[in-house]
Amino acid sequence: MKPYREMTRDELLAEKQVLEEEYRKVLQKKLKLDMSRGKPSKEQLALSLEMMDVLDSGSYFLDETGTDCRNYGILAGIPEAKQLMGAMSEVPPDNMIICGNSSLNIMFDTIGRSFSHGVCGCTPWSKLDHVKFLCPVPGYDRHFRITEFFGIEMINIPMSPEGPDMDLVEQYVENDPAVKGIWCVPKYSNPQGYSYSDETVRRFAALEPAAEDFRIYWDNAYSIHHLYDDPDEQDVILEILDECKKAGHPDMVFKFISTSKVTFPGSGVAAVASSKRNLKDALKTMTVQTIGHDKMNQLRHVRFFGNLANMKGHMSRHAEILRPKFEAVIDALDTELGDLGIATWTRPRGGYFISFDSMDGCAKAIVSKCAEAGVKMTPAGATYPYGKDPHDSNIRIAPSYPELNALKKAVKVFILSVKLVSIDKLLEIA
Protein backbone atom coordinates (compact mmCIF):
# COMPACT_ATOMS: atom_id res chain seq x y z
CA MET A 1 0.00 0.00 0.00
CA LYS A 2 1.03 3.60 -0.59
CA PRO A 3 2.78 5.16 2.46
CA TYR A 4 0.33 7.22 4.50
CA ARG A 5 2.53 10.30 4.37
CA GLU A 6 2.31 10.26 0.56
CA MET A 7 -1.50 10.06 0.51
CA THR A 8 -3.67 13.04 -0.26
CA ARG A 9 -6.17 14.22 2.32
CA ASP A 10 -9.00 12.56 0.38
CA GLU A 11 -7.10 9.28 0.23
CA LEU A 12 -6.48 9.38 3.98
CA LEU A 13 -10.15 10.07 4.66
CA ALA A 14 -11.18 7.17 2.44
CA GLU A 15 -8.75 4.84 4.20
CA LYS A 16 -10.00 6.03 7.58
CA GLN A 17 -13.60 5.27 6.63
CA VAL A 18 -12.69 1.66 5.78
CA LEU A 19 -10.69 1.22 8.98
CA GLU A 20 -13.41 2.72 11.18
CA GLU A 21 -15.92 0.18 9.86
CA GLU A 22 -13.46 -2.59 10.66
CA TYR A 23 -12.95 -1.13 14.13
CA ARG A 24 -16.71 -1.04 14.77
CA LYS A 25 -16.87 -4.76 14.00
CA VAL A 26 -14.07 -5.39 16.51
CA LEU A 27 -15.94 -3.46 19.20
CA GLN A 28 -18.95 -5.74 18.71
CA LYS A 29 -16.81 -8.78 19.55
CA LYS A 30 -16.25 -7.50 23.13
CA LEU A 31 -12.73 -8.91 23.25
CA LYS A 32 -10.76 -9.29 26.46
CA LEU A 33 -7.10 -9.77 25.59
CA ASP A 34 -3.94 -8.90 27.52
CA MET A 35 -0.51 -7.93 26.14
CA SER A 36 0.37 -5.70 29.07
CA ARG A 37 3.12 -7.52 30.98
CA GLY A 38 5.87 -9.98 30.20
CA LYS A 39 4.49 -12.93 32.12
CA PRO A 40 5.22 -16.54 31.16
CA SER A 41 2.21 -18.38 29.78
CA LYS A 42 0.54 -21.34 31.47
CA GLU A 43 2.29 -23.59 28.97
CA GLN A 44 5.67 -22.19 30.07
CA LEU A 45 4.86 -22.57 33.75
CA ALA A 46 4.02 -26.22 33.14
CA LEU A 47 7.63 -26.84 32.08
CA SER A 48 8.74 -26.55 35.71
CA LEU A 49 5.98 -28.54 37.40
CA GLU A 50 8.25 -31.52 38.05
CA MET A 51 10.33 -29.28 40.31
CA MET A 52 7.50 -29.58 42.82
CA ASP A 53 8.30 -33.29 43.12
CA VAL A 54 12.02 -33.13 43.81
CA LEU A 55 11.49 -32.52 47.54
CA ASP A 56 9.02 -34.50 49.64
CA SER A 57 8.79 -35.76 53.22
CA GLY A 58 11.31 -38.50 52.48
CA SER A 59 13.92 -36.25 50.86
CA TYR A 60 17.49 -35.64 51.98
CA PHE A 61 17.54 -32.02 53.16
CA LEU A 62 21.26 -31.44 53.79
CA ASP A 63 23.37 -29.34 51.46
CA GLU A 64 26.85 -30.43 50.44
CA THR A 65 28.35 -29.01 53.66
CA GLY A 66 25.94 -31.02 55.78
CA THR A 67 23.78 -28.03 56.76
CA ASP A 68 20.08 -28.80 57.18
CA CYS A 69 18.22 -26.61 54.67
CA ARG A 70 15.06 -26.80 56.78
CA ASN A 71 16.70 -24.75 59.52
CA TYR A 72 18.28 -21.34 60.04
CA GLY A 73 21.66 -20.38 58.61
CA ILE A 74 23.80 -19.81 55.52
CA LEU A 75 22.84 -16.21 54.88
CA ALA A 76 24.72 -16.01 51.57
CA GLY A 77 23.09 -19.15 50.14
CA ILE A 78 23.88 -22.85 50.01
CA PRO A 79 27.05 -23.71 48.04
CA GLU A 80 25.23 -25.69 45.35
CA ALA A 81 22.92 -22.73 44.62
CA LYS A 82 25.90 -20.38 44.43
CA GLN A 83 27.54 -22.71 41.95
CA LEU A 84 24.40 -22.99 39.78
CA MET A 85 23.51 -19.30 39.86
CA GLY A 86 27.17 -18.37 39.48
CA ALA A 87 27.33 -20.44 36.29
CA MET A 88 24.14 -18.79 35.07
CA SER A 89 25.68 -15.38 35.87
CA GLU A 90 29.14 -16.22 34.49
CA VAL A 91 30.81 -15.35 37.80
CA PRO A 92 32.62 -17.39 40.49
CA PRO A 93 30.39 -18.74 43.29
CA ASP A 94 32.32 -16.70 45.86
CA ASN A 95 31.11 -13.52 44.16
CA MET A 96 27.44 -14.43 44.70
CA ILE A 97 24.83 -13.93 47.39
CA ILE A 98 21.70 -16.02 46.90
CA CYS A 99 18.68 -14.15 48.19
CA GLY A 100 14.91 -14.63 48.01
CA ASN A 101 12.59 -14.97 45.05
CA SER A 102 12.97 -11.56 43.40
CA SER A 103 15.91 -9.69 41.90
CA LEU A 104 13.77 -6.54 41.98
CA ASN A 105 13.62 -6.94 45.76
CA ILE A 106 17.43 -7.11 45.88
CA MET A 107 17.67 -3.93 43.81
CA PHE A 108 15.23 -2.13 46.09
CA ASP A 109 17.19 -3.26 49.17
CA THR A 110 20.47 -2.20 47.58
CA ILE A 111 19.16 1.30 46.98
CA GLY A 112 17.64 1.34 50.48
CA ARG A 113 20.97 0.41 52.09
CA SER A 114 22.68 3.14 50.12
CA PHE A 115 20.21 5.67 51.53
CA SER A 116 20.35 4.49 55.13
CA HIS A 117 23.99 3.48 55.57
CA GLY A 118 25.87 4.46 52.45
CA VAL A 119 27.98 2.31 50.13
CA CYS A 120 31.16 0.82 51.58
CA GLY A 121 31.64 3.60 54.14
CA CYS A 122 30.55 6.51 51.95
CA THR A 123 28.05 9.12 53.11
CA PRO A 124 24.49 7.77 53.24
CA TRP A 125 22.50 9.14 50.34
CA SER A 126 19.82 10.38 52.73
CA LYS A 127 22.31 12.95 54.00
CA LEU A 128 23.12 14.33 50.54
CA ASP A 129 21.38 17.27 48.88
CA HIS A 130 21.14 15.58 45.48
CA VAL A 131 21.16 11.98 44.30
CA LYS A 132 20.87 11.23 40.59
CA PHE A 133 20.50 8.06 38.50
CA LEU A 134 21.00 7.54 34.78
CA CYS A 135 18.14 5.75 33.04
CA PRO A 136 18.60 4.28 29.56
CA VAL A 137 15.33 4.84 27.67
CA PRO A 138 13.11 3.26 26.74
CA GLY A 139 13.67 1.04 29.75
CA TYR A 140 12.17 -1.08 32.51
CA ASP A 141 9.37 0.71 34.34
CA ARG A 142 9.96 -1.09 37.67
CA HIS A 143 13.55 0.13 37.78
CA PHE A 144 12.30 3.66 37.43
CA ARG A 145 9.67 3.17 40.10
CA ILE A 146 12.35 2.19 42.62
CA THR A 147 14.42 5.31 42.06
CA GLU A 148 11.31 7.48 41.96
CA PHE A 149 10.15 5.95 45.27
CA PHE A 150 13.37 7.12 46.93
CA GLY A 151 13.12 10.60 45.40
CA ILE A 152 16.14 10.14 43.18
CA GLU A 153 16.40 12.45 40.17
CA MET A 154 16.34 10.37 36.99
CA ILE A 155 18.14 11.40 33.83
CA ASN A 156 17.19 9.95 30.43
CA ILE A 157 19.97 8.32 28.42
CA PRO A 158 18.99 7.36 24.84
CA MET A 159 19.41 3.73 23.79
CA SER A 160 20.74 2.40 20.49
CA PRO A 161 21.24 -1.17 19.26
CA GLU A 162 24.74 -0.96 20.79
CA GLY A 163 23.44 0.04 24.25
CA PRO A 164 23.17 3.38 26.08
CA ASP A 165 24.69 6.56 24.64
CA MET A 166 28.11 6.12 26.28
CA ASP A 167 29.25 9.66 25.46
CA LEU A 168 26.43 10.95 27.67
CA VAL A 169 27.03 8.27 30.32
CA GLU A 170 30.70 9.22 30.57
CA GLN A 171 29.86 12.92 30.67
CA TYR A 172 27.47 12.52 33.61
CA VAL A 173 29.33 9.85 35.57
CA GLU A 174 32.78 11.37 35.31
CA ASN A 175 31.78 14.97 36.03
CA ASP A 176 28.87 14.93 38.47
CA PRO A 177 29.43 13.39 41.94
CA ALA A 178 25.65 13.40 42.52
CA VAL A 179 25.29 10.65 39.89
CA LYS A 180 25.30 7.46 41.98
CA GLY A 181 24.15 4.81 39.54
CA ILE A 182 22.75 3.70 36.23
CA TRP A 183 20.10 1.09 35.48
CA CYS A 184 21.11 -1.43 32.82
CA VAL A 185 19.39 -4.39 31.20
CA PRO A 186 22.41 -5.37 29.11
CA LYS A 187 21.14 -8.46 27.30
CA TYR A 188 17.88 -8.51 25.34
CA SER A 189 17.00 -5.21 26.99
CA ASN A 190 13.53 -4.38 28.22
CA PRO A 191 11.74 -3.35 25.99
CA GLN A 192 13.87 -3.18 22.84
CA GLY A 193 15.62 -6.53 23.01
CA TYR A 194 19.01 -4.91 22.36
CA SER A 195 22.25 -6.38 23.71
CA TYR A 196 25.21 -4.21 24.66
CA SER A 197 28.19 -4.32 22.29
CA ASP A 198 31.67 -5.26 23.47
CA GLU A 199 32.71 -1.61 23.13
CA THR A 200 29.81 -0.49 25.32
CA VAL A 201 30.63 -3.00 28.08
CA ARG A 202 34.32 -2.02 28.01
CA ARG A 203 33.43 1.68 28.19
CA PHE A 204 31.28 0.94 31.24
CA ALA A 205 34.18 -0.88 32.87
CA ALA A 206 36.55 2.00 32.07
CA LEU A 207 34.38 4.70 33.71
CA GLU A 208 36.16 6.99 36.15
CA PRO A 209 33.25 8.12 38.37
CA ALA A 210 33.28 11.45 40.12
CA ALA A 211 31.45 9.69 42.98
CA GLU A 212 33.30 6.98 44.90
CA ASP A 213 29.98 5.25 45.57
CA PHE A 214 28.81 5.18 41.96
CA ARG A 215 27.62 1.72 40.96
CA ILE A 216 26.31 0.14 37.76
CA TYR A 217 23.04 -1.71 38.43
CA TRP A 218 23.43 -4.51 35.89
CA ASP A 219 20.11 -6.38 35.68
CA ASN A 220 20.97 -9.44 33.63
CA ALA A 221 17.37 -10.63 33.67
CA TYR A 222 17.51 -12.35 30.28
CA SER A 223 20.97 -13.90 30.38
CA ILE A 224 19.87 -17.28 28.96
CA HIS A 225 16.54 -16.26 27.45
CA HIS A 226 17.25 -16.85 23.78
CA LEU A 227 14.51 -17.32 21.19
CA TYR A 228 16.68 -19.45 18.91
CA ASP A 229 18.86 -22.51 19.57
CA ASP A 230 21.39 -21.75 16.84
CA PRO A 231 24.38 -20.02 18.55
CA ASP A 232 24.69 -17.76 15.50
CA GLU A 233 21.23 -16.39 16.31
CA GLN A 234 21.97 -15.76 19.99
CA ASP A 235 23.36 -12.54 21.47
CA VAL A 236 26.52 -12.76 23.57
CA ILE A 237 27.81 -9.98 25.82
CA LEU A 238 31.03 -9.53 27.73
CA GLU A 239 30.96 -10.35 31.45
CA ILE A 240 30.92 -7.00 33.25
CA LEU A 241 32.53 -7.96 36.58
CA ASP A 242 35.50 -9.45 34.75
CA GLU A 243 35.82 -6.37 32.53
CA CYS A 244 35.66 -4.04 35.54
CA LYS A 245 38.33 -6.03 37.31
CA LYS A 246 40.58 -5.81 34.22
CA ALA A 247 39.98 -2.04 34.12
CA GLY A 248 40.92 -1.65 37.80
CA HIS A 249 37.35 -0.99 39.01
CA PRO A 250 36.34 -4.26 40.72
CA ASP A 251 33.74 -2.63 42.99
CA MET A 252 31.78 -0.71 40.36
CA VAL A 253 29.01 -3.23 39.60
CA PHE A 254 26.04 -4.94 41.23
CA LYS A 255 24.91 -7.70 38.88
CA PHE A 256 21.40 -9.09 39.44
CA ILE A 257 19.88 -12.31 38.17
CA SER A 258 16.98 -14.63 38.92
CA THR A 259 15.09 -17.69 37.73
CA SER A 260 11.81 -15.76 37.64
CA LYS A 261 11.25 -16.48 33.93
CA VAL A 262 13.10 -19.79 34.10
CA THR A 263 10.91 -21.60 36.64
CA PHE A 264 8.08 -19.87 38.52
CA PRO A 265 7.86 -16.06 38.71
CA GLY A 266 7.39 -15.17 42.36
CA SER A 267 8.81 -18.53 43.45
CA GLY A 268 12.20 -18.52 41.79
CA VAL A 269 15.68 -17.90 43.13
CA ALA A 270 17.32 -14.48 42.89
CA ALA A 271 20.95 -13.51 43.39
CA VAL A 272 23.36 -10.60 43.31
CA ALA A 273 26.94 -10.83 42.11
CA SER A 274 29.61 -8.27 42.90
CA SER A 275 33.07 -7.78 44.36
CA LYS A 276 33.79 -9.38 47.72
CA ARG A 277 34.05 -5.88 49.22
CA ASN A 278 30.57 -4.95 48.03
CA LEU A 279 29.09 -8.26 49.17
CA LYS A 280 30.68 -7.97 52.61
CA ASP A 281 29.15 -4.51 52.94
CA ALA A 282 25.73 -5.80 51.88
CA LEU A 283 25.86 -8.77 54.27
CA LYS A 284 26.28 -6.42 57.24
CA THR A 285 22.73 -5.18 56.64
CA MET A 286 21.34 -8.55 55.56
CA THR A 287 22.47 -10.02 58.88
CA VAL A 288 20.04 -7.65 60.60
CA GLN A 289 17.34 -8.07 57.97
CA THR A 290 17.07 -11.88 57.95
CA ILE A 291 18.59 -15.02 59.46
CA GLY A 292 18.52 -16.67 56.09
CA HIS A 293 16.64 -16.88 52.80
CA ASP A 294 14.60 -19.82 51.54
CA LYS A 295 17.19 -22.61 51.37
CA MET A 296 14.53 -25.21 50.59
CA ASN A 297 13.74 -23.36 47.37
CA GLN A 298 17.44 -23.10 46.59
CA LEU A 299 17.79 -26.86 47.14
CA ARG A 300 14.70 -27.52 45.01
CA HIS A 301 16.14 -25.57 42.07
CA VAL A 302 19.57 -27.19 42.38
CA ARG A 303 18.14 -30.71 42.38
CA PHE A 304 15.74 -29.95 39.55
CA PHE A 305 18.42 -28.57 37.21
CA GLY A 306 21.65 -30.09 38.47
CA ASN A 307 23.79 -27.91 36.24
CA LEU A 308 23.74 -25.02 33.77
CA ALA A 309 23.54 -27.30 30.73
CA ASN A 310 20.24 -28.71 31.96
CA MET A 311 18.99 -25.20 32.69
CA LYS A 312 19.83 -24.13 29.14
CA GLY A 313 17.98 -27.17 27.80
CA HIS A 314 15.01 -26.09 29.87
CA MET A 315 15.21 -22.61 28.36
CA SER A 316 15.23 -24.13 24.87
CA ARG A 317 11.79 -25.54 25.65
CA HIS A 318 10.68 -22.06 26.74
CA ALA A 319 11.93 -20.76 23.40
CA GLU A 320 9.85 -23.31 21.49
CA ILE A 321 6.77 -21.76 23.06
CA LEU A 322 7.85 -18.11 22.78
CA ARG A 323 9.39 -18.09 19.32
CA PRO A 324 6.14 -18.55 17.33
CA LYS A 325 4.56 -15.73 19.32
CA PHE A 326 7.35 -13.26 18.63
CA GLU A 327 7.44 -14.26 14.98
CA ALA A 328 3.64 -13.89 14.67
CA VAL A 329 3.79 -10.34 16.03
CA ILE A 330 6.71 -9.26 13.87
CA ASP A 331 5.26 -10.90 10.74
CA ALA A 332 1.96 -9.08 11.29
CA LEU A 333 3.70 -5.73 11.82
CA ASP A 334 5.84 -6.27 8.73
CA THR A 335 2.86 -7.24 6.58
CA GLU A 336 0.38 -4.61 7.73
CA LEU A 337 2.61 -1.65 8.62
CA GLY A 338 5.89 -2.27 6.83
CA ASP A 339 5.14 -0.09 3.83
CA LEU A 340 3.12 2.65 5.53
CA GLY A 341 5.98 4.70 6.98
CA ILE A 342 4.19 5.36 10.28
CA ALA A 343 6.10 3.16 12.76
CA THR A 344 9.23 1.17 13.53
CA TRP A 345 9.76 -1.86 15.76
CA THR A 346 12.59 -4.02 17.04
CA ARG A 347 13.37 -7.64 16.12
CA PRO A 348 14.79 -9.19 19.28
CA ARG A 349 16.56 -12.54 19.34
CA GLY A 350 15.69 -13.09 22.99
CA GLY A 351 14.07 -11.63 26.08
CA TYR A 352 10.38 -10.91 26.52
CA PHE A 353 9.45 -7.75 24.61
CA ILE A 354 9.20 -5.99 21.28
CA SER A 355 9.62 -2.22 21.31
CA PHE A 356 7.28 -0.32 19.00
CA ASP A 357 7.67 3.35 18.07
CA SER A 358 4.73 5.16 16.51
CA MET A 359 4.70 8.63 15.05
CA ASP A 360 5.32 11.27 17.70
CA GLY A 361 2.26 12.10 19.75
CA CYS A 362 0.41 8.86 19.01
CA ALA A 363 1.34 6.25 21.63
CA LYS A 364 -1.20 7.18 24.31
CA ALA A 365 -4.01 7.37 21.76
CA ILE A 366 -3.06 3.97 20.31
CA VAL A 367 -3.03 2.29 23.73
CA SER A 368 -6.35 3.96 24.57
CA LYS A 369 -7.92 2.77 21.31
CA CYS A 370 -6.69 -0.77 21.98
CA ALA A 371 -8.20 -0.67 25.46
CA GLU A 372 -11.54 0.49 24.08
CA ALA A 373 -11.50 -2.56 21.79
CA GLY A 374 -10.66 -4.95 24.64
CA VAL A 375 -6.87 -5.25 24.28
CA LYS A 376 -4.81 -4.30 27.31
CA MET A 377 -1.32 -2.92 26.63
CA THR A 378 1.44 -1.61 28.85
CA PRO A 379 0.57 2.06 29.51
CA ALA A 380 2.17 4.46 27.06
CA GLY A 381 5.02 6.28 28.78
CA ALA A 382 5.76 3.40 31.17
CA THR A 383 9.14 2.81 29.53
CA TYR A 384 10.33 6.27 30.63
CA PRO A 385 11.05 7.75 34.08
CA TYR A 386 8.00 9.33 35.71
CA GLY A 387 5.87 7.73 32.96
CA LYS A 388 6.69 10.64 30.65
CA ASP A 389 7.75 9.72 27.13
CA PRO A 390 8.88 13.06 25.65
CA HIS A 391 7.83 11.92 22.17
CA ASP A 392 4.69 9.97 23.20
CA SER A 393 5.78 7.30 20.72
CA ASN A 394 7.06 4.19 22.51
CA ILE A 395 4.85 1.17 23.23
CA ARG A 396 6.06 -2.07 24.79
CA ILE A 397 4.57 -5.21 23.24
CA ALA A 398 4.59 -8.31 25.46
CA PRO A 399 3.83 -11.43 23.37
CA SER A 400 4.49 -14.11 26.02
CA TYR A 401 1.31 -14.49 28.05
CA PRO A 402 -1.60 -14.92 25.58
CA GLU A 403 -2.03 -18.20 23.72
CA LEU A 404 -1.06 -17.88 20.07
CA ASN A 405 -4.51 -17.43 18.51
CA ALA A 406 -5.49 -14.83 21.11
CA LEU A 407 -2.19 -13.04 20.51
CA LYS A 408 -2.86 -12.88 16.77
CA LYS A 409 -6.27 -11.33 17.46
CA ALA A 410 -4.73 -8.80 19.83
CA VAL A 411 -2.08 -7.80 17.30
CA LYS A 412 -4.75 -7.23 14.64
CA VAL A 413 -6.53 -4.83 17.00
CA PHE A 414 -3.24 -3.13 17.81
CA ILE A 415 -2.38 -2.65 14.14
CA LEU A 416 -5.86 -1.33 13.39
CA SER A 417 -5.48 1.16 16.25
CA VAL A 418 -2.07 2.26 14.97
CA LYS A 419 -3.47 2.93 11.51
CA LEU A 420 -6.46 4.91 12.76
CA VAL A 421 -4.48 7.06 15.17
CA SER A 422 -1.74 7.68 12.60
CA ILE A 423 -4.25 8.85 10.01
CA ASP A 424 -5.81 11.22 12.54
CA LYS A 425 -2.35 12.62 13.33
CA LEU A 426 -1.55 13.13 9.64
CA LEU A 427 -4.90 14.81 9.03
CA GLU A 428 -4.28 17.05 12.01
CA ILE A 429 -0.89 18.24 10.78
CA ALA A 430 -1.79 18.39 7.08
Q: Which domains does the chain have, with CATH numbers?
A: 4-44+312-429 (3.90.1150.10), 61-306 (3.40.640.10)
The overall average pLDDT reported for the chain is 97
Weakest mean pLDDT among 32-41, 48-57, 84-93: 32-41
- pLDDT at residue 430 greater than cutoff 90: no
- pLDDT at residue 26 greater than cutoff 90: yes
pTM for the model stands at 0.96
CA angle 196, 202, 207 (to 5 degrees): 115
Give pLDDT tens digits for 96-145. 999 999 999 999 999 999 999 999 999 999 999 999 999 999 999 999 99
What value does the mean pLDDT take over residues 230-246? 97
Give pLDDT tens digits for 61-79. 999 999 999 999 999 999 9
Q: What is the pLDDT of residue 1?
A: 81
- pLDDT at residue 346 greater than cutoff 80: yes
What value does the mean pLDDT take over residues 387-395? 98
Give pLDDT tens digits for 184-201. 999 999 999 999 999 999
Reported confidence tier of residue 429, pLDDT bands at 50, 70, 90: confident
Backbone angles phi, psi at 91, to 5 degrees: -135, 160
What value does the mean pLDDT take over residues 382-391? 97
- pLDDT at residue 37 greater than cutoff 90: no
Which is it for strands 343-345 and 354-358: parallel, antiparallel or unpaired? Answer: antiparallel
Give pLDDT tens digits for 283-332. 999 999 999 999 999 999 999 999 999 999 999 999 999 999 999 999 99
Percent of residues, the chain, with pLDDT higher than 90: 98
